[in-house]
Amino acid sequence: MEDDKYAKELDVAVRVVHMACALCQRVQEGLVSASTDQVKSKDDDSPVTIADWSVQATVSWILSEFFGSQNVSIIAEEDVQTLSKADSVGLLQAVVNTVNECLAGAPKYGLKGPSKALTTSQILEAISQCNSVGGPKGRHWVLDPVDGTLGFVRGDQYAVALALIEDGKAVIGVLGCPNYPMKKELLNYHYQYHEAMSKSSPPSPDIWERGCVMYARKDSGEAWMQPPIHGDKKFEWPNSAKLIRVSSIDDPALATSCEPVEKANSNHSFTEELAHSVGLRKKPMRVYSMVKYAAIARGDAELFMKFARTGYKEKIWDHAAGVVIVEEAGGVVTDAGGRPLDFSKGPYLEGLDRGIIVCSGATLHEKIIDAVYASWDSSNL
């Protein structure tokens, strides 16, 4: 890894995603008793919280400090429009406090924080700097500060996703999944335990290995997963990481598929028709956020299909990090025509052929692609 030209970028990206996950966990735990001012609706009615802006400001500041603000191009989801409104004073102050609390802990993750607390204007500037439009040339960081905000608000699955795109190709992917346990068998226990304990006392993360962070570098042939750190422990990387691989299951009858929870931007009816035609028997896992990519990368599921409804445009920050990790773990990611996803056209996946297919292996992927072509003409898309 030391000889890799992306070694510094991957190192900083992993560390800052760990920081962001800790920030999100603190905010999510406070949402139950917090005022409704901490959750706002954007113009498209999707929710946004202080965690979204706080993570974006934190990641933007760290990347700019480490690599130089003139050298850092960031494509990210949030802007400061809502935060700048007159009725958002309390929300803005909460973001300022959250960011400074997070950055104060930067040394714990082996990163350098600011010498003094950032001002409101500095934090707004850090958020605003994430305004790159990307393109086919140069290096661009791609950030989804809280992917699956609806899941985040509901205490469910969500992810912090950070990727690096160079000359239109995703070369680094880091995916923080604060509510996705290191061990699959603890997933249901997570919900039961969280529900039971949230009314009495905070859960002890060490008991059930809450959360994980996955990362990969393109063409390395390796994808890694490590637990978050808790309490006063210092971050250790890569000593705490372990290799992950996709599942070897290629029989559709034995495969587990993932689907988006939201029906607003995904055609569940076509996906169900496709699943039936290819022989999928298991009920799909409907999961918020890029945790679906995480599930496939480490072998918890074999398939993720998404066919957007007419008019919906896929954003690169919803896929870039997950694509790198799944592919390096041995999986296959293409559009429904079998072509690699194109991250060179800016914030959107322009030219996407019908939908997105994520599989644990080439055999299963080929069967799904064939089924798409066989089913498409009779679909209701």
Q: Is 328 annotated as a binding residue?
A: no
pLDDT at 87: 86
Q: Is 87 annotated as a binding residue?
A: no
Residues linked to residue 259 through DSSP beta bridges, in sequence order: 286
The pLDDT tens digits for 206-232 are 444 689 999 999 999 999 999 988 777
pLDDT at 274: 85
- Give the tokens for residue 27: 């905010």
Per DSSP bridges, beta strands 47-49 and 74-76 are: unpaired
CA angle 194/195/198 to nearest 5° reads 70
Q: Is 65 annotated as a binding residue?
A: no
The residue type found at 265 is N
- What are the pLDDT tens digits along the chain (381 aa)? 445 789 999 999 999 999 999 999 999 888 755 554 566 665 544 568 999 999 999 999 999 999 998 889 999 989 998 898 888 899 999 999 999 999 999 999 999 999 999 999 999 999 999 999 999 999 999 999 999 988 998 889 999 999 999 999 999 999 999 999 988 766 654 444 444 434 444 444 444 468 999 999 999 999 999 998 877 778 877 778 999 999 999 999 999 999 888 766 677 778 888 888 888 899 888 888 999 999 999 999 999 998 887 788 999 999 999 999 999 999 999 999 999 999 999 999 999 998 999 999 999 999 999 998 887 764 444
**Alpha-carbon Rg for the chain in angstroms:** 20
Domains of the chain, each with CATH number or no CATH: 7-179+211-244 (3.30.540.10), 252-378 (3.40.190.80)
Active site residues: 52, 149
Rounded to 5 degrees, φ, ψ at 304 are -135, 125
pLDDT at 190: 41
CA distance 305 to 359: 9
- Give the tokens for residue 209: 């290995």
Q: Is 101 annotated as a binding residue?
A: no
pLDDT at 271: 83
CA angle 296/301/303 to nearest 5° reads 75
CA distance 270 to 267: 6
pLDDT at 97: 97
Cis ω before 114 (30° cut-off from 0): no
CA distance 332 to 121: 43
Give one DSSP letter per residue of 152-221, joined into a string.
Answer: HHTTS--EEEEEEEETTEEEEEEEEETTS-SSGGGHHHHHHHHHHHTTTS---HHHHT--EEEEEETTS-
Is residue 129 within 8 Å of 60, Cβ to Cβ? yes
Is residue 147 within 8 Å of 140, Cβ to Cβ? no
- Give the tokens for residue 321: 């990090």
Q: Is 116 helix (H, G, I), strand (E, B) or coil?
A: coil
CA distance 101 to 157: 24
Exposed / middle / buried, residue 335 (Cβ in 10 Å: 0-12, 13-18, 19+): buried
- Give the tokens for residue 49: 């919280």
In the chain, how many H helices and how many E strands? 11, 14
pLDDT at 265: 67
Is residue 356 within 8 Å of 306, Cβ to Cβ? yes
Instruction: For the chain, report the end-to-end CA distance as a whole number of angstroms.
Output: 45
Q: Which of 237, 126, 242, 121 lies closest to 182 in space, CA to CA?
A: 242
pTM for the predicted model, two decimal places: 0.91
pLDDT at 235: 82
- Give the tokens for residue 207: 């008991």
Exposed / middle / buried, residue 375 (Cβ in 10 Å: 0-12, 13-18, 19+): middle
Residue 210 to residues 176, 193, 207, 240, Cα–Cα distance (Å): 11, 11, 8, 15
pLDDT at 381: 43
The pLDDT tens digits for 62-101 are 999 999 988 899 999 899 988 988 888 999 999 999 999 9
The residue type found at 357 is I
CA distance 146 to 217: 22
